[in-house]
A and B are shown apart, each in its own frame.
Chain A
């Protein structure tokens, strides 16, 4: 069983759905700080290269405490080493890039044909001095409520973390990345950042512009937009889903009152949480399934990230309206086991680099929405109230204007990094181009089309001359229209679920 609230938090995170990234192995930099050897990582049958680099925890004290930075190199199929590697910057904050190796290996296959991919665990994640809270945060996701988590939970989590938390910030992470690049003997790398990885990418562009050949920013979180303000974008993503359903003839026929049904369910849940008896999705035993408004909405919000899960949302709302919460339980089961987010690092960065930048007026504007209201912000606020503080450097909040070829991509349906974020970065960067994919949610490179555009960009290096025609071929959203799929069943939906339940 896992952590309800951890999952809830992930709704407020930028999650990189696809994987990506990487570099080449260079034989040159064999200093004693670097180790590199053949290894197997989960999800990849072939051998890849695993390495660690010893870096100071605090770069101002080079002789102080050392930490190991873990990384994985997915070697190019073509071993000619002619092309510069691509470094993948993971999302979160708190995703460990090396843990995404399997996904990136297949997802970025087109790029891996000629380029090494370099995946570095950001400090505080994966095997780079992880800041993770285990047991204390694990609650049963079916019986407990996301709002149950308390100050004590956070304090217990904090007690487990080791090291000087103030050093686990974005800028030091970039110093680590650049040290790995240098240790591997690459003069320059291409970088791909997805979600929070775009923030890291922008910081990288500011701190070490000479190390970067070109940049792909996929689903942008610019420095000007603090992480946590997802109220408006989630609402917009959800409204588009409702509209797309109404524009689809079959979906409109099946669910003519979806918006009203959603309003009714949330109104009912906000009066009092509902409790139903279901078979445990995994164990099969009878359990109490408690549903609060927060749990309902946060689960829906999680589904808005990808096109596949979005297709289930109308059915989920309609069944809930009919009193059947089993689809909700089925979806919660999918995120059981966590989303691979190192929650300690997540709060450490968000609470210090972003949360203090959210002003009362920004908050008021963001909360003014008809979907999740201020849910994500409230949760982050609870944690940040007790989280130890550090002061990011003054440079950190500078607008990035590096003259590096940059491809910016956004999905029009994205619930956390709306296309308006991409526009901001596009305006500030002198050599950039912003592509908005109409039928895409979070992370454009998760589609074949997206990857082929990234690959073309890495080859051509001119963001404005890319062939974007395949984006138009991505089909409109389609939805699951009944418990058996396909079109409308004739039977009454209320009785069907009841039978299944027995």
Chain B
């Protein structure tokens, strides 16, 4: 026990000695909440805000009620454009032409043709054009309904079939985007944050010849591996906690209710997420150590282990694509946690048996990897990277 403790102290000291490297390892946890926040702010603005649109009208005096309806939705006349935006809107050049015959045709009940002219390929115009079309259509429909009504026709006749939709998702699951991103990021953080430490304490130590010295001591290789594993996984766990805390804080700055979504990480969600992710951190660290020891040099270790990161980010996406998920994916490491995390974010009740099984599977796999590694470290071939 003393030996293990001494080994762990050594590993932690080494890991924390280089503060800057540690910061880099944690950087993902720090950056990610900021990223989510910025992304959401932009997305919400696009989804809800009705930014002012300036349209060049011709013949606007003929249809004051239509112009008023447009104005109510913040679609204004180019004549009123503020100076600093004038150049912009002049270039965008949305034109709406109302014919001189508007009044006469309206009274006569003839179809009236308005012309909407703009560059439909211009991305920034797609939302303004859609808004203008919607308002004109609605205005037109309202007049149509009234015309029929005053002719003694029941206007409900115009809606022969009405579709009543019933959405079975839970109300809180509409923040799908955030949950998805956060899920992938948490998974990646579990894998990435311990990575520099894992490589440094394995391939790095070998290049610095520390490993040989260590192995010469009268301690079992298992203890050495466990010490390295706990150090690398601790860093990953710290990183995840940091990420969750910062994300909860960052979410307070985003008004998700504007888009009819809600997101919060309360204490129980927090605990369950940690419960899910801690075994992943162990698995990640053991995999990284295994591959790093396998590599011949520090450089090779870096590139090999980086490939490992593909797994956690790829698996959740692959699961998303699968419409019919076989039952066993719920029990496997990574995929199991990934599905469970989805449930947590959707506010669904936790499937405790799945959680238990995937955790046991993950830890079992970790134990196996640790044992393999301990076994391999007794071989000089591996230690000297001769194989």
Contact = CB atoms under 8 A, between A and B. Distances in A.
6 contacts: A47-B171, A75-B171, A79-B264, A80-B264, A325-B152, A333-B149
Contact of A327 (B152, B256, B258, B264): B152
Contacts of A256: none
B109 A327 contact: no
Interface size band for B: 35 or more
Interface centre among A46, A279, A482 (most CB of B within 10 A): A46
Given A47-B167, A478-B65, A334 B260 contact: no
Contact of A312 (B146, B257, B264): B146
B257 A114 contact: yes
A80 B257 CA distance: 11
Interface string B212-229: 000000000000000000
B168 A47 contact: yes
Contacts of A281: 152-154
Contacts of B164: 42-43
B262 A79 contact: yes
B208 interface: no
A489 B153 contact: no
A46 B171 contact: yes
B337 to A, nearest CB: 24
Interface string B251-293: 0000011101110100000000000000000000000000000
Interface string A54-91: 00000000000000000000011111100000000000
Contact of A483 (B151, B172, B260, B264): B151
Nearest to A327: B150
B149 A485 contact: no
B260 A330 contact: no
Contacts of B133: none
B353 interface: no
Interface size bucket, A side?
35 or more
B107 to A, nearest CB: 4
Contacts of B154: 281-282, 330, 333-334, 336
Contact of B146 (A326, A336, A485): A485
A334 B149 contact: yes
A330 B153 contact: yes
A184 interface: no
B148 interface: yes
Given A80-B264, A113-B257, A333-B156, A485 B147 contact: yes
Interface of A: 38, 40, 42-43, 45-47, 75-80, 113-114, 278-279, 281-282, 312, 315-316, 319, 325-331, 333-334, 336, 475, 478, 480, 482-490, 497, 500
Contact of B103 (A38, A480, A486): A486
A486 B109 CA distance: 10
Nearest to A490: B107
Interface of B: 65, 68, 103, 106-109, 143, 146-157, 164-172, 256-258, 260-262, 264, 347
Contact of B152 (A42, A278, A475): A278
Contacts of A333: 149, 152-156
A9 to B, nearest CB: 21
Nearest to A448: B72
Q: Which of A77, A312, A483 has the most CB of B within 10 A?
A: A77
Contacts of A325: 152
A315 B149 CA distance: 11
A489 B108 CA distance: 7
A45, A76, A334, A485 interface centre (most CB from chain B within 10 Å) = A485
Contacts of B166: 40, 45, 47
A242 to B, nearest CB: 19
Specify the main secondary structure of chain A where it touches its partner: loop
Contact of A79 (B150, B155, B172, B258): B172
Given A279-B152, A282-B156, A282-B157, A480 B107 contact: no
Contacts of A327: 149-152
Given A278-B152, A279-B152, 11 more contacts: A45-B166, A46-B167, A47-B167, A77-B261, A79-B264, A113-B257, A282-B154, A327-B151, A334-B154, A484-B108, A497-B151
Contacts of B155: 330, 333-334
Contact of A480 (B109, B146, B258): B146
B344 to A, nearest CB: 14
A486 B152 contact: no
B153 to A, nearest CB: 6
A488 B103 CA distance: 9
Nearest to A80: B264
A490 B106 CA distance: 12
Contacts of A38: 170
A336 B156 CA distance: 10
Nearest to A483: B150
10 closest pairs, A vs B, by CB? Answer: A326-B152, A486-B106, A333-B154, A113-B257, A281-B154, A330-B149, A489-B107, A329-B152, A327-B150, A282-B154
Contacts of A80: 262, 264
Most buried by A among B147, B169, B257: B257
Contacts of B147: 483-485
A485 B171 contact: no
A489 B147 CA distance: 13
Contacts of B347: 79
A45 B165 contact: yes
Most buried by A among B68, B150, B256: B150
A330 B151 CA distance: 7
A312 B150 contact: yes
Contacts of A315: 150
A279 B152 CA distance: 8
